[in-house]
């Protein structure tokens, strides 16, 4: 049984006490890695790897597929685990303590990422983003310049 998203008060109550497991989608093309921009919350304005919280009872690969639909509007396929990301910046700001599992992710057949102001590609870009995600990308050979 997979339980859906938590009400806001429960979310904050729970994740102020325990780590929050997330999945991070790494979608590559000749333009680099796909990044989206947060529009709300404590990380508003930052570019980031598409990702989201794993729901209770949800297999990680199912979470990758759900996040692809929720954040990008496309069907994706979860590939190999490429690493993990801990977010001390969140802890230091008193937000929460996410730990993300990064998956190589491919678009489903006949799927394309729609151009939008909330989507960009990492190649040759100087972007405001989490240092933790920038470090993971650098470890994978993807350069994203600091802003």
Domain that holds residue 128: 8-139
Inside any domain, residue 3 = no
pLDDT tens-digit profile of 13-71?
Answer: 988 899 999 999 999 988 889 999 988 877 888 999 999 999 999 999 999 999 999 99
Is there a domain that residue 2 lies in? no
Number of domains composing the chain: 1
Report which DSSP code applies to 141.
Answer: T
Q: Please write the tens of the pLDDT for every residue from 89-129.
A: 988 888 899 999 999 999 999 999 988 889 999 887 788 99
Chain Cα centroid distance, residue 42: 15
Tell me the CATH number at 40.
3.90.79.10
Q: Which residue has the tokens 């597929």?
A: 65
pTM of the model: 0.91
Are the beta carbons of 85 and 102 closer than 8 angstroms? yes
Binning pLDDT at 50, 70 and 90, where does residue 85 land?
very high
Sign of the CA dihedral running 8, 13, 16, 20: negative
- Of all helices (H) and strands (E), which one includes residue 22? strand 20-26
């Amino acid at each position: 049984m997979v339980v859906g998203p938590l009400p806001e008060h429960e979310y904050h109550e729970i994740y102020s006490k325990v780590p929050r497991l997330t999945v991070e989608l790494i979608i590559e093309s000749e333009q680099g890695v796909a990044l989206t921009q947060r529009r709300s919350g404590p990380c508003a304005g930052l570019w980031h790897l598409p990702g989201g919280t794993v729901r209770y009872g949800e297999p990680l690969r199912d979470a990758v597929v759900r996040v692809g639909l929720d954040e990008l509007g496309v069907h994706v396929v979860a590939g190999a685990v490429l690493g993990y990301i801990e977010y001390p910046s969140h802890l230091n700001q008193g937000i929460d303590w996410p730990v993300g599992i990064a998956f190589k992710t491919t678009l489903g057949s006949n799927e394309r990422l729609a151009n939008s102001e909330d989507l960009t590609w990492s190649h040759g870009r100087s972007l405001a983003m989490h240092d933790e995600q920038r470090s993971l990308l650098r470890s994978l050979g993807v350069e994203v310049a600091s802003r």
